[in-house]
Amino acid sequence: MNKKIAVISGDGIGPEIVTEAVKVLTRIEEAFGHHFEYDFLLAGGSAFDQTGLPLPSETLQHCKEADSVLLGAVGGPKWDGLEKHLRPERALLDLRSALGLYANIRPVKLMSALRSASPLKSAILEKGLDLVVVRELIGGLYFGERKTYVNSKGETEAQDLLVYSESEIRRIAETAFRLAMQRRKIVTSVDKANVLDSSRLWRRIMHQVKEKYPEVKYNDMLVDNCAMQLIHDPSQFDVIVTENLFGDILSDEASMLTGSIGMIPSMSTGSEGPGLYEPIHGSAPDIAGQNIANPVATILSAAMMLRFAFDMPRESQIIETAVEKVLGKGYATADIHIEGKTQVSCSHMGDLICEEITVLAKA
Ligand code: NAD
């Protein structure tokens, strides 16, 4: 099968982890006779350095023309002082918005090899940890009007507007319920309806959509309680659906339960056009350029791309199994704290996963 993949390495550890994901995809091409054309594009701080813009129009155009987009991460202290429309993170927001990627899907699953790396007690983990966070991605606080101004008392004030429309809530609700139907059929909708009007609307629309899915067990949960329940008993969750800001924070919290933020992939999709596949973590400037980052989240994002964008479930499964096998043999990057591990670099981890892919593809 021929596919065109737009590849954005970005900043910080981005180039290191994306190199490993492309290495893995190339091994899949060899093993299965596919042809992936990689279109390497600029975005983020490195794009600003080279073009003066965080998201050059050429990058956006090429992403629109691709079958799928693979991204590392953007941002870093070097660009923190820039005006907000020039900051690297703007590239991500604009890319998500321009591609209409309203649903961000973040699977959080504990691999048995990483049980001892989780900060949770084994009594809690024994009950299971396999959930998906469905985060609304192009609405809410991150896209509302914002301003900083001097008020009537001469003091500087800042504000960000949180806006959601019925249709924005309805479409993300549909995504969550459809996903739940393919899983354990439980949806937890997370909001702050005891305080926020936007959350009260969110809850009302969720209740309308749930009527279409009588097989799904549904419950509402306040975001502060959800933050606590994720640590107290994550086994109760199957699909968590929530708005942009809450989803951003809760999915980082949930990721740590699996041992490291470097383990969790994500996919962002809209109603049509290419999806965006990226790890949930950032550009980790503190470890950039040292070849010690964990590439697994990006490699698993590539696996999600094969499964959901290219309809290649076997190839996707082989990558996931290869990752589990390598970790099961005790190999781990510096961020994963398991007993008796053999610590490997970012590139060595990519090599080990490729070796397992070759073995698994022949089996
Ligand atoms: P971060 O996720 O980059 O890093 C948080 C911590 O996790 C750091 O200690 C880092 O070393 C570690 N970490 C993250 N990914 C890792 C990996 N793959 N392997 C090993 N360790 C890993 O979050 P941050 O420090 O808050 O943000 C750094 C920059 O990234 C900021 O400029 C931020 O805006 C940006 N950011 C970008 C994205 C994105 O591109 N999608 C997402 C979040 C943050």
CATH label, 119-257, candidates 2.40.160.40, 3.40.50.620, 3.40.50.300, 3.40.718.10 = 3.40.718.10
- In the structure, what pLDDT confidence band is assigned to residue 235 with cuts at 50, 70 and 90? very high
Contact (Cβ atoms closer than 8 angstroms) between residue 298 and residue 283: no
The mean pLDDT value for 85-114 works out to 94
Residue nearest to atom 43 of ligand 1 (CA): 282
pLDDT of residue 340: 86
CB burial of residue 189 (10 Å; 0-12, 13-18, 19+): buried
Atom of ligand 1 nearest to the CA of 286: 11
From ligand 1's centre to the CA of 45, what distance in Å?
14
Pocket of ligand 1, candidates 261, 268, 323: which has the most ligand atoms within 8 Å of its Cβ, to mutate? 261
Using the mean position of ligand 1's atoms as its centre, give its distance from the Cα of residue 284 in Å. Answer: 4
- Residue 117 Cα, ligand 1 centroid: separation in angstroms? 19
Distances in whole angstroms, Cα of residue 289 to Cα of each of 91, 146, 283, 286? 22, 34, 11, 9
The Cα–Cα gap between 65 and 3 comes to: 11
CA quadruple 123, 228, 136, 183: dihedral sign: positive
Contact 84, 90 (CB under 8 A): yes
Task: Work out which ligand 1 atom sits closest to the CA atom of 335.
Answer: 20
What pLDDT does 228 receive? 98
Nearest CA, atom 34, ligand 1: 75
Using alpha carbons, list the distances in angstroms from residue 161 to 13, 21, 95, 145, 239: 32, 37, 21, 5, 27
Residue-wise pLDDT for 135-167, tens only, equals 999 999 999 999 999 999 999 999 999 999 999
Q: What is the DSSP code (8-state) at residue 180?
A: H
pLDDT recorded at residue 225:
98
Tell me: the pLDDT tens digits for 101-140? 999 999 999 998 899 899 999 999 999 999 999 999 999 9
The pLDDT assigned to 334 comes to: 96
| Residues 265/301, Cβ–Cβ less than 8 Å | yes
Ligand 1 atom nearest the C-alpha of 287 is 11
Task: Give the active site residues.
Answer: 142, 192, 224, 248, 252
- The residue to mutate among 42, 281, 327, having the most atoms of ligand 1 within 8 angstroms of its beta carbon, is 281
Q: Quick check: 1 pLDDT over 90?
A: no
The ligand 1 atom at the shortest distance from the C-alpha of residue 72 is 40
Binding-site residues, ligand 1, Cβ < 6 A: 13, 17, 73-76, 89, 92, 261-262, 278, 281-287, 293-294, 297, 335
Q: Is the pLDDT of residue 244 over 90?
A: yes
What was the pLDDT predicted at 363? Answer: 87
pLDDT grade for 82, boundaries at 50, 70 and 90: very high
CATH topology of domain 1-101+275-363: Isopropylmalate Dehydrogenase (3.40.718)
Output the residue whose Cα is nearest ligand 1's atom 30.
282
What is the arithmetic mean of pLDDT over 67-72?
98
Ligand 1, atom nearest to 14 Cα: 40
Question: pLDDT value at position 92?
Answer: 95
Q: Give the Å distance between the CA of 118 and the centre of ligand 1.
A: 19
166 C-alpha to center of ligand 1: Å? 32
CA distances from 357 to 25, 242, 264 (A): 10, 35, 20
Judge whether residue 339 has pLDDT over 90.
no
pLDDT at 284: 98
Name residues whose C-beta falls within 8 Å of residue 227's C-beta, 6 or more positions apart in sequence. Answer: 249, 250, 253
pLDDT score for 40: 98
Residue that the structure tokens 């339960």 belong to: 257
Domain residue ranges of the chain, discontinuous segments joined by +: 1-101+275-363, 119-257
Query: What would the mean pLDDT of 41-54 be, rounded to a whole number?
Result: 98
* Probe residue for ligand 1, chosen from 283, 286, 291, 345 as the CB with the greatest number of ligand atoms within 8 Å: 283
CA 261 to ligand 1 center in whole angstroms: 9
pLDDT attached to residue 177 = 98
Instruction: Please check whether residue 235 is in contact with residue 184, taking contact to mean a CB–CB distance below 8 angstroms.
Output: no
Q: Which residue has the higher pLDDT, 227 or 337?
A: 227
